[in-house]
């Protein structure tokens, strides 16, 4: 049955309107770390590759500066190449001939290069040869496992690091807290949080936001709010994170209360915060409140920003204002698959299956 006030569906919908879920498979450490036969771990028990002929290593060899300063620079340059493994191996081989080959700066630069190449076996073997890993070295190893999708291994390494007395900086704390949140490891995450407090970095917006995310992912909303309330310098990202977490975890009233408190503090919301507030209005069926939220944003932003447009379409459709949802959909200039899905689901929920099918076909 035609929907009053609607024009015909757009002529060129995407080939499919089903939501694509990203791959959830994690690369295990064993598969992510398989190295080629030409990439041995360069300990004293192995033969290094042929002498280096690359430009960066030649300049390093002839430089009057200390090798522990020049090698990290050369390795960083090599890591930016499309295929960094060969020059990296050559630099590694040359470094073994110098007294500074065990310098932590040199070794950490090698760790980063092998991590970029996806060679976790080499990366871990080199790390295990370090007599006294520092914070940067531990973080490089944890990050390598995270980038390979081996989150449990990353958290396991983090536990070992903190057991050995690691004193984290804010970057390390955020990386480990992120890994803990993804695998819902509350115990390890709280260990990191206590260490962050001891090191005086707990007030970092990035660290506090990461621990809020950890608590939310582990179902500890009260603890997440406690951390948020104690933050001294809340920026729009921190406010938005808390509003969004409330909205997406079944606490729409708390999300709206916090959104209003944010307005009272004079903090301008970003698109994710507005989307979280609109999602809360959708859950409550509070169309009037949603209209108030809309007035806080330049109307054109809803047509240019898929995040805002999707939230607005979803709210209108689920609150019974399907015609308004359709108007927003038609005027949007950037329609991604999520925008299309929101409109199709909204039409289907309100008895306009034929129009919804027309968008899919």
Q: Given this model, what pLDDT does residue 352 score?
A: 83
The reply to whether 356 falls in a domain is no
Same domain, 226 and 147: yes
Percent of residues, the chain, with pLDDT higher than 70: 70
Same domain, 114 and 177: no
Q: Do the beta carbons of residue 111 and residue 103 sit within 8 Å?
A: no
Q: Do the beta carbons of residue 243 and residue 250 sit within 8 Å?
A: no
Distance between CA atoms of residues 29 and 119, nearest Å? 10
Q: Which residue has the higher pLDDT, 71 or 343?
A: 343
Q: Do the beta carbons of residue 334 and residue 342 sit within 8 Å?
A: no
Final residue before a domain boundary, out of 200, 233, 266:
233
DSSP string for 243-257: HHHHHHTT-HHHHHH
The reply to whether 205 falls in a domain is yes
Q: Which residue has the higher pLDDT, 211 or 34?
A: 211
Question: 51: pLDDT confidence band, cut at 50, 70 and 90?
Answer: very low
- Which residue is associated with the tokens 């999707």? 310
Distance between CA atoms of residues 301 and 289, nearest Å? 19
How far is C-alpha 300 from the geometric centre of its chain's CA atoms? 28
What digits encode the pLDDT tens for the residues 280-310?
999 999 999 999 999 988 888 999 999 999 9
Same domain, 124 and 141: no
Question: 48: pLDDT confidence band, cut at 50, 70 and 90?
Answer: very low
Same domain, 121 and 137: no
The reply to whether 295 falls in a domain is no
Give percent helix, percent strand, percent coil of the chain, each to the nearest 5.
Answer: 65, 0, 35
CATH number at 196 reads 1.25.40
Distance between CA atoms of residues 58 and 40, nearest Å? 22
Question: 208: pLDDT confidence band, cut at 50, 70 and 90?
Answer: very high
The reply to whether 207 falls in a domain is yes
Same domain, 142 and 219: yes
The reply to whether 83 falls in a domain is yes
What digits encode the pLDDT tens for the residues 314-324?
999 999 999 99
Same domain, 224 and 147: yes
Q: Under 8 Å CB-to-CB from 210, ≥6 apart: which residues?
A: 173, 174, 177, 178, 181
Same domain, 182 and 225: yes
Same domain, 138 and 160: yes
Distance between CA atoms of residues 232 and 229, nearest Å? 8
Q: Do the beta carbons of residue 302 and residue 312 sit within 8 Å?
A: yes
Q: Given this model, what pLDDT does residue 63 score?
A: 47
Q: Do the beta carbons of residue 51 and residue 168 sit within 8 Å?
A: no
Percent of residues, the chain, with pLDDT higher than 90: 47
Q: Given this model, what pLDDT does residue 35 score?
A: 40
What digits encode the pLDDT tens for the residues 257-285?
999 999 999 999 999 999 999 999 999 99
Domain span at residue 214?
133-233
- Which residue is associated with the tokens 């944003």? 297
Secondary structure (H, E, C), 50-81: CCCCCHHHHHHHHCCCCHHHHHHHHHHHHHCC
Q: How many domains does the chain have?
A: 2
The reply to whether 241 falls in a domain is no
Residue in 344, 342, 356, 346 with CA at minimum distance from that of residue 319: 346
Q: Given this model, what pLDDT does residue 350 score?
A: 83
Final residue before a domain boundary, out of 233, 257, 291:
233
Same domain, 59 and 144: no
Same domain, 99 and 175: no
Question: 360: pLDDT confidence band, cut at 50, 70 and 90?
Answer: confident
Final residue before a domain boundary, out of 114, 131, 148:
131
Residue 6, pLDDT > 90, answer no
Same domain, 138 and 222: yes
Helix (H, G, I), strand (E, B) or coil at 351: coil
Residue 22, pLDDT > 80, answer no
The radius of gyration of the chain's CA atoms, rounded to the nearest angstrom, is: 26
Most confident of 14-23, 45-54, 94-103: 94-103
Residue 81, pLDDT > 70, answer no
Q: Which residue has the higher pLDDT, 318 or 20?
A: 318
The reply to whether 349 falls in a domain is no
The reply to whether 289 falls in a domain is no
What digits encode the pLDDT tens for the residues 148-170?
888 999 999 999 999 888 889 99
Question: 69: pLDDT confidence band, cut at 50, 70 and 90?
Answer: low
Q: Given this model, what pLDDT does residue 154 score?
A: 92
Same domain, 66 and 88: yes
Q: Given this model, what pLDDT does residue 23 score?
A: 39
């Amino acid at each position: 049955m035609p929907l009053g006030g609607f024009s015909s569906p757009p002529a060129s919908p995407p080939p499919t309107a089903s939501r694509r879920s990203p791959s959830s498979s994690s690369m295990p450490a064993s598969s992510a770390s398989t190295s080629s036969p030409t990439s041995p771990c360069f300990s004293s028990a192995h033969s290094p590759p042929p002498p280096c002929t690359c430009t960066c290593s030649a300049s390093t060899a002839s430089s009057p500066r200390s090798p522990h300063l020049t090698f990290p620079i050369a390795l960083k340059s090599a890591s930016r190449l499309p295929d960094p493994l060969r020059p990296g191996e050559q630099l590694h081989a040359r470094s073994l001939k110098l007294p500074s080959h065990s310098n932590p700066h040199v070794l950490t630069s090698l760790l980063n290069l092998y991590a970029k190449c996806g060679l976790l076996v080499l990366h871990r073997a080199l790390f295990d040869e370090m007599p006294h890993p520092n914070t940067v070295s531990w973080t490089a190893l944890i990050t390598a496992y995270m980038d390979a999708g081996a989150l449990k291994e990353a958290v396991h390494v983090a536990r070992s690091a903190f057991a050995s007395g690691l004193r984290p900086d804010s970057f390390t704390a955020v990386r480990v807290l992120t890994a803990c949140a993804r695998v819902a490891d509350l115990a390890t995450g709280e260990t990191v949080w206590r260490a962050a407090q001891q090191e005086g970095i707990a007030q970092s917006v990035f660290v506090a936001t990461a621990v809020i995310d950890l608590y939310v992912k582990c179902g500890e909303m009260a603890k997440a709010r406690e951390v948020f309330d104690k933050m001294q310098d809340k920026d729009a990202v921190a406010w938005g994170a808390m509003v969004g977490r409330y909205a997406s975890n079944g606490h729409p009233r708390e999300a709206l209360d916090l959104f209003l408190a944010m307005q009272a503090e004079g903090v301008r919301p970003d698109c994710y915060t507005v989307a979280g507030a609109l999602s809360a209005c959708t859950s409550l069926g509070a169309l009037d409140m949603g209209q108030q939220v809309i007035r806080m944003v330049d109307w054109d932003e809803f047509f240019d920003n898929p995040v805002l447009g999707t939230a607005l379409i979803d709210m209108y459709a689920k609150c019974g204002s399907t015609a308004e949802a359709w108007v927003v959909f038609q005027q949007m200039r950037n329609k991604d698959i999520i925008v299309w899905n929101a409109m199709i689901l909204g039409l289907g929920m309100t008895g306009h299956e034929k129009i919804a099918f027309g968008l899919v076909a």
